[in-house]
Each structure stands twice: as structure tokens, then as C-alpha cells.
Homo-oligomer: A and B are copies of this chain.
Amino acid sequence: MNQQYSSALLERAVDEFAKLPGIGRKTAMRLVLHLLRVDVGKIDAFTDAVSTLCHEVRYCSVCHNISDDDVCQICSNPARDASTICVVENVQDVMALEQTQQYRGLYHVLGGVISPMDGVGPGQLEIESLVQRVDEGGVDEVIFALSSTMEGDATNFYLFRKLMKYPDLNLTVLARGMSINDELQYTDEVTLGRSLINRVPFTCK
């Protein structure tokens, strides 16, 4: 046992917290000492929530989002527009789009982007299942909502090649341009150039 810790149990708990990303040993110690001060019932709620999630987590068989059931709440919601599929990298992206409250279609979570540098090829992503969803019919539009990085663009291109064989399918991509509240002089030249090329008719909405 490390000389520094007076209790092996304490050290073990700190070790476990320190394994989490972005949590160092000092923060881990602070969190553990906080847990020692709270009710034992609340500790049980904490460990149970983590344990239950990790043991019972499922992924939606349609869109591959995290789900409690075989099909997630978004895919099984009849109020949502099943003719539009928005392709995203991961679960957080679904949440970010849901928070905008601007989208009523369905999603498709790829599980990443094509990145040969990180050893991620098309085969490791949920691309075949996307093509299959389109192939089954009823889809009018696929929105590419990936990161605007080189890897995201490469994945967009790969998806485009896979889906261009469906003549009635609209393939769209999220608009790139100045962020809301950005000052023009501080916008990088690539973004600004793209904003200029993709300018849209002015409306007073």
C-alpha cells in the first residue's frame, strides 16, 4: 500500500476514480471524500445507476443510438418523420441536434468517422445498415451531419458514393458558415470564404 494513504479502501476508490478521463488523483480524492460525507443511500443510488446502465445498456437496432429497448424512443415515435434520416457520429451529436428542437426526423449513429490514421475503416462503422435502411424504401432525404473535419468530409464522400445509386434520394449536408454571434474580422478565411459562396437569399424571419 502506498505510504500516503491510511486506508487501502480509500486508495482503491481513489484509484478507480483516477482512471476516468480528465480526473487526476487530486480530483479523485476530492470526489471520494465528498462521497464519504454523503448518505450511504445516495452512494447506493450512484453505484446502482452506473452499474445498471453499463450492464443493461442496449443500442437501438434501427439507428444504433443508446436505448432502453430494442428500438429507441426516437425511432419508435410515430410523430417523427421517418422519411428523413440524419447521419451523425455519436450519441452526443444526437443530443446536440435534439436540443436545437429543429429536427423531427430520425437519426443514424455511425459510431465514428472514417479515419485511416486511427485505424477506423468503413467496415467498423454502421454504414451498411444505413444503406440497408435506405434500400428498404420510404426514405426521401439523408442529411450528413458529421464534423467538418477532414475525416468527416471523407466519410461524407464515402456515404455519398454509397447512396448516389438511389435516384430519388436527396443527400444534404449541414450548412457551414459563420457561427451566430461571430465577428466577421475574427472568422477564419476558409469558413468566411464558404459563407460567401453559399450565401442565401435574405429574409426577415
A176 contacts the other chain (Cβ, under 8 Å)? no
Judging by beta carbons under 8 Å apart, are A46 and B50 in contact? Answer: yes
- Copies of this protein in the assembly total 2
A60 contacts the other chain (Cβ, under 8 Å)? yes
Alpha-carbon distance A47/B82, docked complex (angstroms): 39
Report chain B residues within 8 Å CB of A98.
3-4
Interface string of A132-168 (1 = CB under 8 A from B): 0000000000000000000000000000000000000
Judging by beta carbons under 8 Å apart, are A31 and B35 in contact? Answer: no
Interface residues of A toward B: which range?
Answer: 35 or more
Nearest opposing residue in chain B for A51, CB measure:
B47
Judging by beta carbons under 8 Å apart, are B53 and A6 in contact? Answer: no
Judging by beta carbons under 8 Å apart, are A31 and B36 in contact? Answer: no
Majority SS at the chain A contact face: helix
Q: Provided the pairs A3-B98, A52-B9, A72-B6 are in contact, do residues A31 and B27 lie with their beta carbons within 8 angstroms?
A: no
Judging by beta carbons under 8 Å apart, are A9 and B47 in contact? Answer: no
Nearest opposing residue in chain B for A96, CB measure:
B4
Chain A stretch 64-93: residues in CB contact (< 8 A) with chain B: 65-68, 72-74, 90-92
Give the contacting residue for A49; candidates B12, B22, B30, B90; CB below 8 A. Answer: B12
Interface residues, chain A, CB within 8 Å of chain B? 1, 3-10, 12-13, 15-17, 19-23, 27, 29-36, 40, 42-57, 60, 65-68, 72-74, 90-92, 94-95, 98-99
19 contacts between A and B (CB under 8 A): A6-B72, A6-B91, A6-B94, A7-B57, A9-B52, A9-B56, A10-B66, A13-B49, A15-B49, A16-B50, A17-B46, A22-B27, A23-B31, A36-B57, A43-B50, A43-B51, A43-B54, A44-B51, A47-B51
Kindly list 14 other residue pairs between chains A and B, CB separation below 8 angstroms, not including A20-B34, A36-B53: A1-B73, A4-B95, A5-B95, A9-B57, A9-B68, A10-B66, A17-B50, A21-B30, A33-B90, A35-B50, A35-B53, A36-B54, A43-B50, A47-B47
